């Protein structure tokens, strides 16, 4: 498995490049909160060659966004929506339709380290 750390502005270009090299399956997109930084992890698989490639993008929590990959990989849909809701990472180039927290009006992202579970939040009924 190959791991590459890349800049967020290069993620769409790198994903497209991987697809042309046979990495046609998007296994997963996820995020990790390290308090001072966020990291978005993309895992691609070449099914014929049985190889994986991992792209890692480091983000500043105050400016957390990545471009969408939905145009190249349809499987990115739910992963991006989950990342947006649970980690508060903006996905540029797509709508903000909710997946998990559809009635939540809160601004805080529940999987971020700074989230407070006993803080009041609002829901829309």
Averaged confidence pLDDT in the chain: 86
Domain count along the chain: 1
Q: For the domain that residue 47 is a member of, what is the CATH number?
A: 3.30.460.80
Asked, for residue 99, whether it belongs to a domain, the answer is no
Q: State phi, psi for 76 to the nearest 5 degrees.
A: -70, -20
Asked, for residue 41, whether it belongs to a domain, the answer is yes
Asked, for residue 58, whether it belongs to a domain, the answer is yes
Domain range holding 78? 2-92
- The yes-or-no verdict on residue 119 having pLDDT over 60 is no
Relative to beta strand 25-33, strand 65-67 is unpaired
pLDDT digit string, tens, across residues 4-23: 899 999 999 999 999 999 99
CA dihedral sign, ordered 110, 115, 117, 123: negative
Asked, for residue 106, whether it belongs to a domain, the answer is no
Asked, for residue 34, whether it belongs to a domain, the answer is yes
């Amino acid at each position: 498995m190959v791991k590459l750390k890349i800049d967020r502005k290069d993620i769409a270009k790198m994903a497209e490049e991987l697809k042309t090299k046979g990495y046609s399956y998007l296994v997963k997109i996820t995020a990790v909160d390290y308090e001072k930084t966020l990291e978005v992890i993309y895992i691609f698989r070449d099914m014929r060659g049985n190889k994986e490639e991992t792209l890692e993008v480091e983000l500043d929590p105050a400016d957390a966004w990545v471009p969408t990959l939905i145009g190249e990989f349809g499987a990115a849909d739910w992963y991006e929506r989950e990342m947006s809701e649970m980690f508060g990472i903006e996905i540029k180039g797509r709508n903000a339709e909710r997946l998990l927290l559809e009635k939540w009006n809160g601004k805080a992202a529940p999987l971020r380290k700074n989230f407070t579970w006993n803080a009041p939040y609002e829901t829309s009924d």
